[in-house]
């Protein structure tokens, strides 16, 4: 079983914020692949389904971004899922809007959700689907940018990216088993036109 965690904040007023693109991505995957209805468990919301040949537990931590790892750790511990079978879908300032990269391990790069996961799992050795939201240009504007809602001009690329991620998700599920995320990244890039 794989554990795919979409990182975000649970308040309804935060639903359209850039910081919640991880929630948006995991929702898109669950819809596209006919997952079970969401239910509360592990201090989050979970849904189960199949993506390609893999059984996937989708998780949206309700612990707020800064404590995401608490929910992820509980689910991983219950199902005995090791870090290499865990994927965090999260916002990435250092990628242009609409771009996506996948990597395993590495630093948190100032992302508090990843920091929390590193702390709770005891290792950074899990996969990250980094969803580009762009950088506002100066450090002083980062917080407002991340916690700001997506603008109208963002809606087209956002919908295209979320559709591409959900459409190509079977390549992610199959690729991570072999440690090869490249086919997934390539397919998403083709679908978003870049």
Domain 2-191 top-level CATH class: alpha beta
pLDDT in the model for residue 108? 85
pLDDT in the model for residue 64? 93
Q: Which residues neighbour 178 within 8 Å (Cβ) at sequence distance 6 or greater?
A: none
Identify the band that residue 193 occupies on the pLDDT scale cut at 50, 70 and 90. Answer: confident
19 assigned to active site: yes
- Strand bridging mode 100-104 / 127-132: antiparallel
Instruction: Give the span between the Cα atoms of 71 and 43, in whole angstroms.
Output: 5
Q: Which tokens sit at 30?
A: 């669950």
Instruction: Indicate whether 177 pLDDT > 80.
Output: no
Catalytic residue among 19, 33, 111, 145: 19
Q: How far is CA 163 from the centre of its chain?
A: 14
Instruction: Indicate whether 194 pLDDT > 70.
Output: no
pLDDT in the model for residue 110? 83
> Rounded to two decimals, what is the model's pTM?
0.96
For the chain, percent of residues with pLDDT exceeding 90? 91
H or E element: which one contains 187?
helix 182-191
Instruction: Indicate whether 181 pLDDT > 80.
Output: yes
In tens, the pLDDT along 48-68 reads: 999 998 999 999 999 999 999
């Amino acid at each position: 079983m794989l554990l795919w965690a979409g990182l975000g904040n649970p308040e309804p007023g935060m639903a359209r914020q850039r910081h919640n693109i991880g929630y948006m991505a995991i929702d898109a995957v669950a819809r596209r692949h006919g997952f079970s209805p969401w239910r509360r468990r592990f201090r989050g919301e979970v849904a189960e389904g199949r993506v390609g040949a893999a059984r996937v537990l989708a998780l949206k931590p309700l612990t707020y971004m800064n404590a995401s790892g608490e929910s992820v750790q509980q689910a991983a511990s219950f199902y005995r899922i090791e870090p290499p079978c865990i994927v965090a879908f999260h916002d990435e300032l250092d990628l242009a809007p609409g771009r996506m990269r996948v990597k395993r391990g590495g630093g948190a790069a100032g992302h508090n959700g990843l920091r929390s996961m590193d702390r709770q799992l005891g290792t950074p050795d899990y996969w990250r689907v980094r969803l580009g939201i762009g950088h506002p240009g100066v450090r002083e504007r980062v917080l407002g940018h991340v916690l700001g809602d997506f603008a109208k001009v963002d809606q087209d690329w956002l919908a295209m990216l979320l559709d591409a991620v959900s459409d190509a998700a079977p390549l992610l599920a199959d690729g991570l088993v072999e440690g090869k995320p490249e086919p997934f990244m390539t397919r998403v890039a083709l679908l978003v036109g870049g």
